[in-house]
Amino acid sequence: MTRITLHTFDEVLDAVDLALGTSLRVGRRPERSDDAQLLEVPLPSVSSSHVEVRVTDALTHIEDLGSKNGTWLKLAPHHAVQVSSAADVALYLALPASRKGHDDLPEDAVWSGADDFAGSVASVLEDWLEERGVPARIMTAERPKTPYAVDDPGMVPLAIPIDLHVVPLRTTEARWPEVLSQVWRYVERQNDLFATEQELRRDGIVLASPVMRRVYRSVVDAARRGLRLLLLGPSGAGKEVLARCYHRHTGRSGAFVARNCALLSKEFLRAELFGAERGSFTGSVQRITGAVERAQGGTLFLDEIGELGLDMQAMLLRFLDSGEYERLGQFGTLLQADVGIVSATNKDLRASCARGDFRSDLWYRLSIQVVDVPPLRDRVEDIVAYLKTHPVGRPSSAFDRLSAPALELVCGHSWDGNFRELANFTERMSDGPPGGLSAQDCQELLAQGTIHSVRSRPSAPAVDSSVWADLATRAARAYSEDHADQPPRIWDDVKEYIEKYLKPLLFAQLSQIGPSLEATDLRACPDRMAADRATALKQIERYFDRLSEG
């Protein structure tokens, strides 16, 4: 007689004694068998037909019947094992929810391309296993060119021709199958991210920096969830390419239609967005199909949304609320369109809402997913990756041409024109030996493409340390007042303190802002700080909105 004890990890379910030559079939609704006892286990974690146990003369034969969770010893679906009939057997049918760990996966790995993808994923997994006290190593091996069948749950394929091998360092414990399950889920996610990032690289977006990879993943997440997306960032930072990426990942069959709100007059903008009948306004000689209609079933990208006038903001708001619009010259006839919306601007829309230049209710319609696209100067890894992929002669890249001092200059440059300026810089570089571009030559090339000469930037006025301390104190006090006397606690809080409180005060001090907005020379401030106009205006607005003591 052999006793079979059935468990979950939370409790003992039942115990059944099996005589020689008998069998037991277990499940929520186990299929009938002529020679087997049936035991129903009414748990959602137990499959309809989960496991069968047969006792023969010498062995106990245990077979998983294709269950969802497997059977602990642990049996993979459709596999069998034989144990001595002299031993009692305890079978575990399910893991408790508290130990499944579905959300307890490692952070996403960071890689720059196919060369370091496998190593990055393996390193993150090894650290994760060590933190959890799981005695295992992660090894990598090239995948054989000839297809082969491997029945090893510890071998996990990557999106490149390399396999990960999860190798236990000692006898595995009961949680090992669930650890492998988590590893598989994690690698599947990394493979998906790698594949989609490779697509974006082909579109011209560089994703070497961790911050830009987070931006990209936020865009993809918004697209897959069907959320409206608002991109905030300077001109030339790649917002339109990200908008096209959003469209590709929505899975929508309609077109991607882009319109720049800053380039069109008020009347013509309405016609461009919602369409117009022939003769509906002066100079209208033919019917205009609006961008909304063109984007039916697809994505509408509204660039420079911050330049939209208040009257057009109201019309756009109505469309976002109901999906209904009127073509110019066809009043009273409501049309409908189903489009995904991506908007972008280099303005501080929050400040514009505070001033009344931008409707707050429109902000809330557009800002379901807000993504800040950082300027290129904050993405040094992207600068280096771009240089490495742009040839200057053959076989050298722009990166190869730079001497070490020249590369240091490039990485420390302000890049006010972002990728447009970087692209122009690489175009100006001439062919030559590796490392042959000196710092002086590099400085001259950079100066050609900057509005503010690299060699003649104005120096900031001398400021003693007590003033710096006072500015930091003022920034901290304002932050604390706006956050219920709470100091910064996480990295996002620190970034907010620097961007919205400390930077505006420093800009005001160094650019010699006047006592009021009216008394400030808005043309001179950018020159004094060697800053682009958009950045200067943003800092000035933040200063007078919250931090001015005048």
Q: What is the mean pLDDT of residues 254-265?
A: 86
Model confidence at 484, in pLDDT bands (50, 70, 90)?
A: confident
Q: Does the pLDDT of residue 203 top 90, yes or no?
A: no
User: Both 222 and 347 in a single domain?
Assistant: yes
Whole-angstrom Cα distance, residue 111 to residue 241? 21
User: Both 343 and 247 in a single domain?
Assistant: yes
In this structure, what CATH number is given to the domain that contains residue 332?
3.40.50.300
User: Both 109 and 198 in a single domain?
Assistant: yes
User: Both 315 and 271 in a single domain?
Assistant: yes
pLDDT of residue 194: 83
Q: Does the pLDDT of residue 146 top 90, yes or no?
A: no
Q: What is the mean pLDDT of residues 399-426?
A: 89
User: Both 89 and 120 in a single domain?
Assistant: no
Could you say which of 449, 475, 501 is where a domain stops?
449
pLDDT of residue 147: 60
Q: What is the mean pLDDT of residues 266-277?
A: 81
| Nearest in space to 4 (alpha carbons), one of 12, 15, 26, 13 | 15
Residues 471, 472, 475, 480, Cα dihedral to 10°: -140
Q: What is the mean pLDDT of residues 137-155?
A: 78
* pLDDT tens-place string over residues 74-114: 565 666 777 655 556 666 665 443 343 445 788 888 776 78
Query: Over pLDDT 70: what percentage of the chain?
Result: 83
Whole-angstrom Cα distance, residue 206 to residue 386? 7
| Of the listed ranges 141-155, 165-179, 482-496, the one predicted with least confidence | 141-155
Whole-angstrom Cα distance, residue 550 to residue 19? 93
Residues with Cβ within 8 Å of 303's Cβ and at least 6 positions away in sequence, in order, are: 239, 240, 243, 258, 259, 260, 261, 262, 343, 344, 345
Which residues form the domain of 10? Answer: 2-98
Could you say which of 72, 98, 124 is where a domain stops?
98
| Of the listed ranges 40-49, 165-174, 340-349, 447-456, the one predicted with least confidence | 447-456
Q: Does the pLDDT of residue 326 top 60, yes or no?
A: yes
Mean pLDDT, the chain, integer = 82
Q: Is the peptide bond before 74 cis (omega within 30 degrees of 0)?
A: yes
User: Both 486 and 533 in a single domain?
Assistant: yes
286 three-class SS: coil
Q: What is the mean pLDDT of residues 123-143?
A: 91
pLDDT of residue 102: 42
How many residues are there in the chain?
550
Q: What is the mean pLDDT of residues 496-517?
A: 83
Q: Does the pLDDT of residue 461 top 80, yes or no?
A: no
Within a domain: 43: yes
Give me the number of domains the chain comprises.
5
Which of 153-157, 166-170, 254-258 has the largest mean confidence?
Answer: 254-258
User: Both 368 and 393 in a single domain?
Assistant: no
What 3 state SS string does 362-413 have?
A: HHHHHCCEEEECCCHHHCHHHHHHHHHCCECCCCCEHHHHECHHHHHHHHHC
Model confidence at 158, in pLDDT bands (50, 70, 90)?
A: very high
Which of 41-45, 229-233, 335-339, 462-466 has the largest mean confidence?
Answer: 229-233
Residues with Cβ within 8 Å of 45's Cβ and at least 6 positions away in sequence, in order, are: 8, 68, 69, 93, 94, 95
Within a domain: 111: yes
Could you say which of 202, 222, 251 is where a domain stops?
202
pLDDT of residue 396: 79
Whole-angstrom Cα distance, residue 396 to residue 512? 45
Q: What angle do CA 222, 228, 229 make, to 5 degrees?
A: 70
Model confidence at 455, in pLDDT bands (50, 70, 90)?
A: very low
pLDDT of residue 121: 94
Q: What is the mean pLDDT of residues 443-451?
A: 87
User: Both 129 and 233 in a single domain?
Assistant: no
User: Both 342 and 391 in a single domain?
Assistant: no
pLDDT of residue 126: 93
Within a domain: 460: no
Q: What is the mean pLDDT of residues 479-488?
A: 87
- Classify residue 512 as left (phi > 0), alpha (psi -120 to 50) or beta: left
Query: Over pLDDT 90: what percentage of the chain?
Result: 20
233 within 8 A of 346, measured Cβ to Cβ:
yes
Residues with Cβ within 8 Å of 108's Cβ and at least 6 positions away in sequence, in order, are: 124, 189, 190, 193, 213, 217
Q: What is the CA radius of gyration of the chain?
A: 32
